[in-house]
Structure 1
Amino acid sequence: MNSAEVVEAMERICGQVHRTPLKQSSTLNAFTGGNIFMKMENMQRTGSFKVRGAMNKVMSLSEEEAARGIICASAGNHAQGVALAASQRQAASKIFMPKRTPSAKVEATKHYGANIVLKGETYQEAYSAAVGEMKEKGSTFVHAFDDPKVMAGQGTVALEMLQQLSDLDTILVPVGGGGLLAGMALAVKSFNPKVNIIGVQALGAPATYNFFTGKNKGSLNHVHTIADGILVKKPGELTFPIIRKYVDDMVTVTDEEIAYAMMFMLQREKTLVEGAGAASLAAAMCHKVKVHGKKVGCVISGGNADPSKIPVYRDLSKMVRQLHYIG
């Protein structure tokens, strides 16, 4: 993948996805001492950035590939993106999702016309089941992150941010398998290499962080985090070399810190974001990166949180509040 492919993706999907706002919060700036700019991908079609990569991939398929039917595995947001893109191509789609996927994401995916199969406890288990069926039936597989077309589509988030504000100092990007981080890092470093790119991963599922820091090069046996959108056991084979080449640093955030950022957005900004979507903001709010006096972009990657779990998020956030990170 190269920067030209990201530009091509921008041109291919521009009429299919929203150009989301780059939003500031005076309250957030006062809390952190920085100039924080939130890229509101929770306001994207399907409620997540994932539709960008899915749309770019599906719209790139040949007629024969689309006619074979489209299959994927997803914790929820990629599923909705693939289902929507498949419907645009008038192609059948079948989505394998972990059993723990929030019901809101399952129902939304069904709404876009996909056939849903709940399989396994994690993304990897759902992925294995999807690959098995793909081999058996010859369907066209659309990977959630480990695909050049998908990564290029996700990289369009970075192009928009640079168009909206060209002099950002740092961009914080949530990371699971690494498709968003890889696509954005390549795009940013190609067009404005002075911008620091920092990946943010949940402490309960730190596979990419471990690879990046050299702490552990193997697949994780157990993962757990409220940020289900970035709940993976290992980084992508195609994404990680790009991350290693272009990303400046990586940090982790706890579930309590993620919940705190979620509740901040709900209470102060009147906006519901999901755990993965709040990870980058948590890193800025909880002092995981230096933001004081800097222009910092935070990718709010999705808004498909399960409303029934808000009491859990609220209770977790109280633990961080007691540590006096911010007001």
Structure 2
Amino acid sequence: MLSYDDVLAAREHVEQVAVRTPLNYSFGFAEMTGADVHLKLENTQRTGAFKIRGAMNRIAALTDEERERGVVTASAGNHAQGVALAATRAGVDSTIVMPKYAPVSKVEATKRYGGDVVLHGIDYDEAQAHAHEIEREEDKVYLHAFEDELVMAGQGTIGLEIAEQCPEVDTVVVPIGGGGLIAGVATALKGALDDVRVVGVQAAGADSAARSVREGERVELEGVDTVADGIAVREVGEHTFPYIRERVDEVVTVDDEEIAETLTLLLERSKTVVEGAGAVALAAVLEEKFEYEDGETIVPALCGGNIDMNTLITVILRGLVRMGRYLKISLELKDRPGELERVASIIAREDANVYALSHDRTSRDIAVDAADLEIELETHGHDHAAEVVAALEEAGYEVEVET
């Protein structure tokens, strides 16, 4: 199995292209949780995610004959960029199969790094199947995103950095997709430190590893559904699962609403941009998905920051909804002069701010002498949102809360 020495050996190759990412103490999240929270900012890595580490270590091991053949891989986006950049740096041709609905930003970035992108399938697993077809038909070398000890070792260099930057760490929280990242990080941490806990986190809509740990064998999901596209795989890796069972202390899950709120908090409190997969580790801390003590030193790994801008807008809105700071309501009002002004005055009196409104007289669901009013509001929290709704209802309006 992968050893601590394997991770140490990988560092030499990884450092040729990857950067040593910061580990920053977070006053805001420490105050929110009572723990001593340090953020491992792997979202600041070259290509915006940790995947360059494993890709570089794997490509460095190619023989001359394999370099001539070129490489092929499948990826939802971050591994794609890592392989494309590492291959280009090594003078190796790379073909990257990505799901059809992969974020545009990740597809375009992979092309810029020199990868030949092929879009195929609805998720990572279908893209991977097509990549293996290309492997056979074109005699290319397949570079797996996580089922490879050299890739795991490269990812594990994050654990070496955490151990050096924060030797007093009690708990490290790591995202899990296929399992390559946590396999490498857990190996490095358990080898470098005497007493450290490693907690893995999955999205609830792609929780193969969590289910597999509970059942004692790998579980394949029928499909995945999560905003955390970077860890959206149907089945944890065959080669990575033994590492999770032996070297990871606990595996928990967070749902998309929790991910969205955490992503929004990172933007607001830390001025840090992450993707869905990059937010899950901190989400598990904020939502207390595992037990920890006051003052415990915790390092959540923010594993990537490659989020599509359209997705970011949607996720922020969902985060604000969960925090009670965005309220969308609809109500019916009489279609007569001054009625809209009356509603607006109630909202103003309650100190809420109108983002947008839609005034529709043509809806078939309302009376001829009425209008349907939809309002998007900025509120200060759940209590304030409830006060706004109560004030409108007290004035005689029947309010439907849409978010």
TM-score class normalised by the smaller sequence: over 0.9
Aligned to 2:101: 100
Aligned to 1:158: 159
How far the C-alpha of 1:215 sits from its partner, in A, is: 7.7
Q: What is the distance in 1 between the residues matched to 2:43 and 2:272?
A: 9
Q: What is the distance in 2 between the residues matched to 1:262 and 1:136?
A: 41
Aligned to 2:34: 33
TM-score, length-normalised on structure 1?
Answer: 0.96
Q: Secondary structure at the match of 1:204?
A: helix
- Taking the TM superposition and a 5 Å limit, the aligned residue runs for 1:74-223 are 74-214=75-215, 217-223=218-224
Output the aligned Cα RMSD: 1.6
Q: Answer yes or no: is the 8 Å Cα contact 1:93–1:115 preserved in 2.
A: yes
Q: Secondary structure at the match of 1:222?
A: coil
Q: Which has the larger radius of gyration?
A: 2
Q: Secondary structure at the match of 2:72?
A: strand
Structure 2: gaps (5+ residues): 326-380, 383-403
Aligned to 1:298: 300
Q: Answer yes or no: is the 8 Å Cα contact 1:172–1:199 preserved in 2.
A: yes
Q: What is the distance in 2 between the residues matched to 1:274 and 1:8?
A: 30
**1:243-274 CA-partner distances (Å, limit 9, x unpaired):** 11110001000001111111111112112100
**1:285-305 CA-partner distances (Å, limit 9, x unpaired):** 111123432000010000001
Aligned to 1:237: 238
**1:79-115 CA-partner distances (Å, limit 9, x unpaired):** 0000000001111100000111100000000001111
Give the aligned residue type for 2:307: A
Q: What is the distance in 2 between the residues matched to 1:132 and 1:165?
A: 44
Q: What is the distance in 2 between the residues matched to 1:106 and 1:166?
A: 37
How far the C-alpha of 1:233 sits from its partner, in A, is: 0.2
Identity %: 44
**1:292-327 CA-partner distances (Å, limit 9, x unpaired):** 3200001000000111122321232135425999xx
Tell me whether 265-274 or 310-319 shows the greater mean CA deviation: 310-319
Q: Secondary structure at the match of 1:298?
A: strand
Q: What is the distance in 1 between the residues matched to 2:118 and 2:58?
A: 22
Q: Secondary structure at the match of 2:205?
A: coil
Q: Secondary structure at the match of 2:273?
A: coil
- Taking the TM superposition and a 5 Å limit, the aligned residue runs for 1:7-46 are 7-46=8-47
Q: Secondary structure at the match of 2:298?
A: strand
Q: What is the distance in 2 between the residues matched to 1:53 and 1:302?
A: 14
**1:29-81 CA-partner distances (Å, limit 9, x unpaired):** 11111111111000000000000000100111111111101100000000000
Q: What is the distance in 2 between the residues matched to 1:240 and 1:183?
A: 12
| Larger relative contact order (Cα-Cα within 8 Å, sequence gap ≥ 6) | 1
Q: What is the distance in 2 between the residues matched to 1:171 and 1:276?
A: 16
Q: What is the distance in 1 between the residues matched to 2:217 and 2:204?
A: 14
Aligned to 1:6: 7
Q: Answer yes or no: is the 8 Å Cα contact 2:264–2:320 preserved in 1.
A: no
Aligned to 1:257: 258
Matched, 1:307 2:312: no
Query: If each structure's strand is expressed as a fraction of its own residues, which one has the higher value?
Result: 2
Q: Answer yes or no: is the 8 Å Cα contact 2:183–2:244 preserved in 1.
A: yes
Tell me whether 18-27 or 211-220 shows the greater mean CA deviation: 211-220
Query: How many equivalent pairs are there?
Result: 325
**1:160-188 CA-partner distances (Å, limit 9, x unpaired):** 00011111000000000000011111111
Q: Answer yes or no: is the 8 Å Cα contact 1:256–1:319 preserved in 2.
A: no
Give the aligned residue type for 1:302: G
- Taking the TM superposition and a 5 Å limit, the aligned residue runs for 1:52-67 are 52-67=53-68
Q: What is the distance in 2 between the residues matched to 1:218 and 1:310?
A: 31
